[in-house]
A and B are shown apart, each in its own frame.
Chain A
Amino acid sequence: MPDDYKAPLPQPTPDSKPFWEAARRHELRIQRCRACSTAFFYPRNVCPECLSGDLDWFTASGRGRLHTFSIVYRGLKVTPLPTPYVLAVVELEEGPRLMTNLVGIQADPEQVRCEMPVVVEWADVTSEVTLPRFRPA
């Protein structure tokens, strides 16, 4: 377990705790509204589609597509990965999108493509925090 990890870490709130706790178990848990069936991310106590509070947690497949990306060369003092790295927005096959990093591929705009199929890969960055990253499927 790397204890020298210095990049920003999330501080869970009551709405997001189930997500971050599941991440530590390497499960991608997200929410679905029982009233309107919309699956959504990030975690909330109301559905962003219909404001219902009748919500379910479920485990997403971890599969999706790269919706958009940037290749970060500079700008941060502390980075989660060595520069350059791929900052990504992944669209899960259940619908919601989340920000993440794309790993397992050269951080090169000639290699990385929108709509590439991707799959989750868990990064235990500290003893307390696990981050979902994605790699080409």
Chain B
Amino acid sequence: MARERLHAQRGRIAIVGAAESDEVGKLPDKSALMLHAEAARNALADAGLSVKDVDAVLSTGRQTANDVPEYLGIRPRYLDNTQMGGCSFIAHLQHALGVIEAGVAEVVLITHGESGASRVGMGGGDRFAPDTPPGQYEMPYGIGGPATRYALAATRHMHEFGTTREQIAEVAVATRKWASLNPRAMMRDPITVADVLASKPIAWPMNLLDCCLVTDGGGALVVTSAARAKDLRSKPVFVLGTGEATCHSIISQMPRFHAWDAAILAGERAWEMSGARPADVDLAMLYDAFTIVPILALEALGFCKPGEGGSFVADGRTAPGGALPINTNGGGLSYTHTGMYGMFLLVEAVRQLRGQCGARQVPGAKTAVCHGTGGILSASATAVLSTEV
């Protein structure tokens, strides 16, 4: 697509409602669909819109595209169940842009609900069944949980660039500082680099404190055209740029373990559409399933050069008071991580850009970038958001 045509999409849609489920954390009394519904109701209330206004539902989880609309009593004109892992909801924002710009729908509801810890109403289905590529080419070798898979990228990054475990641990330390400012965060006690290195080894080079939480929760967004947004009561957050990409599915097929190609592609597109550059953002919400992931994202998105992610995060640069606030809610590492955490990146960015973050508010935040991983660094989706077009 010609650059002009891409750039013409800048700021055409806005997030007008953003909310989470009433609580996040361990919620054994709530099913995944209940969490979708709670978040959807809260986001619509935030937007000042009725469920009757919704004409498109984008969601994903274990369900089909029909399930969330049925549960909410919506008969949408457009359904989207794109499942690319935790960043799906950021990609849904790009899909919403296409849908709204094409006139297919006007009010788009994007929902997430996941009983990641309590496993209530999650259904079955084995993505790693023995006759699938991961089942045939990875599971027989004892690939464990996601930590084992992400560890493969961390090891190669250390080999290529001399990145140290201490540098990687800085991500957990800075993120915990943000969490200590968020009353809803699950883990709020300060930690040090030494604590991370002394925590239980899971899969070298990832220790327990390098790993995200496992929780229950939900989130939802209401998205509409920039024109309609001006008539609504909430302060619109404009979508300046979006991108999505995938470069592999199973981790052993990752083209370069030390560089995140899907993120480079998604990021380039989002920056190009937005006309913004890394220097223009006031905060970055970078999916932190594991401490290595924001380091890879910082390099892929151009906040630093390839290989410099480790030194970039040192000295509290991403912590409260640092030059580049990252993961101000406390991240997947210390706030909450339901499984497909990407929705929480967007909700927190909206809250920051509206100035609703209290003790953790980034002063005068106008522009944010949200970036997620899906699968095991398989997919990426990026969104540049701003209060101004």
Which residues of A are at the interface with B, using a C-beta cutoff of 8 A?
7-13, 16, 20, 41-42, 67-76, 79-81, 84-85, 87-89, 97-101, 109, 113-115, 125, 129, 131
| Contact assessment for B142 and A101 in the assembled complex, using a CB-CB cutoff below 8 Å | yes
> Which residues does chain B contribute within 8 Å of A41, judged by CB atoms?
137
| Contact assessment for A89 and B202 in the assembled complex, using a CB-CB cutoff below 8 Å | no
> Which residues does chain B contribute within 8 Å of A81, judged by CB atoms?
142
Shortest distance in angstroms between B355's beta carbon and chain A's nearest beta carbon? Answer: 41
B183 within 8 A of A: no
> Which residues does chain B contribute within 8 Å of A113, judged by CB atoms?
159
| Contact assessment for A10 and B130 in the assembled complex, using a CB-CB cutoff below 8 Å | yes
Shortest distance in angstroms between B174's beta carbon and chain A's nearest beta carbon? Answer: 24
Pick out which of these stretches binds chain A: B23-31, B146-154, B380-388: B146-154
Shortest distance in angstroms between A111's beta carbon and chain B's nearest beta carbon? Answer: 11
Could you say which of A20, A75, A97 contacts B144, with CB atoms under 8 Å apart?
A75
| Complex Cα gap A7–B144 (Å) | 11
| Complex Cα gap A73–B204 (Å) | 8
Q: Please, which residue of chain A has its CB at the minimum distance from the CB of B153?
A: A68
| Contact assessment for B159 and A10 in the assembled complex, using a CB-CB cutoff below 8 Å | no
**Which residues of B (185-236) have their CB < 8 Å from a CB of A?**
200-206
> Which residues does chain B contribute within 8 Å of A9, judged by CB atoms?
130, 140
| Contact assessment for A75 and B152 in the assembled complex, using a CB-CB cutoff below 8 Å | no
Q: A9-B140, A101-B142 are in contact. Are A68 and B159 (CB under 8 A)?
A: yes
Q: Please, which residue of chain A has its CB at the minimum distance from the CB of B204?
A: A71
> Which residues does chain A contribute within 8 Å of B145, judged by CB atoms?
75-76
| Complex Cα gap A79–B203 (Å) | 13
Shortest distance in angstroms between B146's beta carbon and chain A's nearest beta carbon? Answer: 9
B252 within 8 A of A: yes
| Complex Cα gap A7–B135 (Å) | 11
Shortest distance in angstroms between B63's beta carbon and chain A's nearest beta carbon? Answer: 26
> Which residues does chain A contribute within 8 Å of B144, judged by CB atoms?
72, 74-76, 87
Q: A11-B136, A13-B136 are in contact. Are A72 and B155 (CB under 8 A)?
A: no
Q: A70-B152, A76-B142, A87-B142 are in contact. Are A114 and B159 (CB under 8 A)?
A: yes
> Which residues does chain A contribute within 8 Å of B131, judged by CB atoms?
10-13
Could you say which of A42, A70, A84 contacts B155, with CB atoms under 8 Å apart?
A70
| Overall SS of chain A's interface | loop
**Which residues of B (140-175) have their CB < 8 Å from a CB of A?**
140-145, 147-149, 151-153, 155-156, 159
Q: A68-B153, A81-B142, A97-B252 are in contact. Are A109 and B205 (CB under 8 A)?
A: yes
Could you say which of B128, B137, B143, B153 contacts A87, with CB atoms under 8 Å apart?
B143
| Complex Cα gap A109–B153 (Å) | 15
Shortest distance in angstroms between B251's beta carbon and chain A's nearest beta carbon? Answer: 8
| Contact assessment for A71 and B153 in the assembled complex, using a CB-CB cutoff below 8 Å | no
Which residues of B are at the interface with A, using a C-beta cutoff of 8 A?
128-131, 133, 135-145, 147-149, 151-153, 155-156, 159, 200-206, 251-253, 257
Q: Provide a sorted-by-A list of 28 A–B residue pairs whose CB atoms are within 8 angstroms.
A: A7-B140, A8-B130, A8-B140, A12-B136, A67-B156, A67-B257, A69-B152, A69-B155, A70-B203, A70-B206, A72-B203, A73-B200, A74-B200, A74-B202, A76-B142, A79-B142, A84-B201, A87-B141, A88-B141, A97-B253, A98-B137, A99-B137, A99-B143, A113-B159, A114-B155, A114-B156, A115-B159, A129-B140
| Complex Cα gap A72–B200 (Å) | 12
Shortest distance in angstroms between A130's beta carbon and chain B's nearest beta carbon? Answer: 10
| Complex Cα gap A74–B144 (Å) | 8
> Which residues does chain A contribute within 8 Å of B136, judged by CB atoms?
10-13, 16, 20, 42
| Contact assessment for B141 and A68 in the assembled complex, using a CB-CB cutoff below 8 Å | no
Shortest distance in angstroms between B277's beta carbon and chain A's nearest beta carbon? Answer: 31
| Contact assessment for A80 and B152 in the assembled complex, using a CB-CB cutoff below 8 Å | no
Could you say which of B133, B139, B206 contacts A42, with CB atoms under 8 Å apart?
B133
Shortest distance in angstroms between A62's beta carbon and chain B's nearest beta carbon? Answer: 16
| Complex Cα gap A62–B359 (Å) | 58
| Contact assessment for A98 and B252 in the assembled complex, using a CB-CB cutoff below 8 Å | yes
New A-B pairs, 17, CB < 8 Å, besides A68-B156, A72-B142: A8-B135, A10-B130, A10-B135, A11-B130, A11-B135, A16-B136, A42-B136, A68-B152, A70-B155, A74-B144, A85-B142, A87-B143, A87-B151, A89-B152, A99-B251, A109-B204, A115-B159
Could you say which of A10, A13, A68, A97 contacts B140, with CB atoms under 8 Å apart?
A10
| Contact assessment for B135 and A100 in the assembled complex, using a CB-CB cutoff below 8 Å | no
| Contact assessment for B201 and A73 in the assembled complex, using a CB-CB cutoff below 8 Å | yes
Interface centre among B145, B148, B155 (most CB of A within 10 A): B155
